[in-house]
Structure 1
């Protein structure tokens, strides 16, 4: 396998559940706990501004309403994406991919970007996110790892910026997943931690791919996966798992 430039421990959505997910505040908190690699979700506004948000709709993690992809950035940028988590974070905005890139690059951190399209915009989201990542990380030694549950998004990312590393996300081992990862020229497969076992890691490593898991919040799960030779652990528990350990 090719050398793997990313740390073992990756902070989920910035700092998981300790701060409002997918915000700069969450990234800062994860960094305060020693994390140097982060996962986040990126989708497109109606005017194709790339920004961080997990859900297709705005209600759960902001004071907005409706489909996030139906609004332009001028509207999205005014939303409060922190108050839902607690008064200390009131006024925290949704961050652009550009803002996250500036923070990550300035601190020499690593990033796993999950391409999270608004339904129906899988290919366009993959294309635009890959193009923006290529521009924002130009000249950097280690670009972000692009991942997605949506093969269409990864295929479009591959076509737009083939040099960027890609990973297929799996919540089940659906028929044809292995061939799809091959067709997408992936460097890694990221699964629900409950799917990962010795046989699957051997299969992935045998193909020359890295094996990563989400969302590993239990010490016993982490120990089991590390003993099996896992290459990446995405966690919410940044306060309980020292990333250097």
Structure 2
């Protein structure tokens, strides 16, 4: 039976920087999560049209940014990955959340890495490709992460729902740890995670039970959960012996 490798990451992980307390996937969110005592955050990374890894969850810019039409015209595509970084960098990614964050920009992965490394903080990078760019995104994000965290005592954890992105991430940066994200248990998913050289599964928290934890452990996989916002759910996962909890409620759960 495979043995579990040492696990350098804390149990509590701040979702998209600071959950719902700040505009997701911005440096403001990372600062706020850190101010609440979180030593690790999760974020979503995709590529601009010119190949710059930057933080954004959605495929489109509509929900969390403002100003695209002013920059690129009323007929501009809402798809984030179709725009160069020169355009994306000028968007307002904060005012959708609240006035306090108006003008907060989208960050690059490089900017996030500088802040986290300067403050001794850790990161789970979800590779979030624009549809159709899974292989390229996995490779470019992994290469960038390996370069940006070169020499770091604890590397970032790469994760994705897309096995093809994890496969190219593995090929581009084999030393970086990887995790398969699961919203449902599709046929052969645990075997697929093992074949990809993953060190962990990151599941919708409702999927975990004692049997699934045992199956994962038997394959040498750590057990993480998203997005856990209720105390009863967190207590259940802790009782099951899982390893990581990704939460929006950085103001509720003390990460000690």
**TM over 0.5, yes or no?**
yes
1:88 and 2:97 correspond: no
Shift of 1:141: 1.3
2:185 maps to: 173
- 1:151 paired with 2:160, answer no
User: What runs of 5+ residues in structure 2 fail to find an aligned partner?
Assistant: 69-76
Match of 2:5 in 1: 2
User: In the alignment, which residue of structure 1 is the partner of 2:47?
Assistant: 44
Structure 2 residue 87 is matched with structure 1 residue 75? yes
> Which one of the candidate residues 211, 229, 232 is aligned to 1:199?
211
The secondary structure found in structure 2 opposite 1:81 is: coil
Instruction: Supply the distance in 2 between the matched residues of 1:167 and 1:198 (Cα, whole angstroms).
Output: 20
CA–CA separation in structure 2 for the residues paired with 1:80 and 1:178: 40
Match of 1:27 in 2: 30
For residues 77-116 of structure 1, the aligned pairs below 5 Å read: 77-116=89-128
The offset of 1:111, in angstroms, is 0.3
> How far 1:189 moved relative to its partner?
0.3
- Partner Cα distance (2:147, 2:79) in 1: 27
The normalised TM-score by structure 2 is: 0.94
Q: 2:20 aligns with which of 17, 35, 40?
A: 17
Question: In 2, Cα distance between the equivalents of 1:208 and 1:3?
Answer: 11
Within the candidate set 61, 68, 72, 1:58 is matched to: 61
- The alpha-carbon deviation at position 202 of structure 1 amounts to 1.0
1:152-189 per-residue CA deviation (whole Å, 9 max, x = no partner) reads 00000000011100000000000110121011000000
Task: State the match for 1:124 in structure 2.
Answer: 136
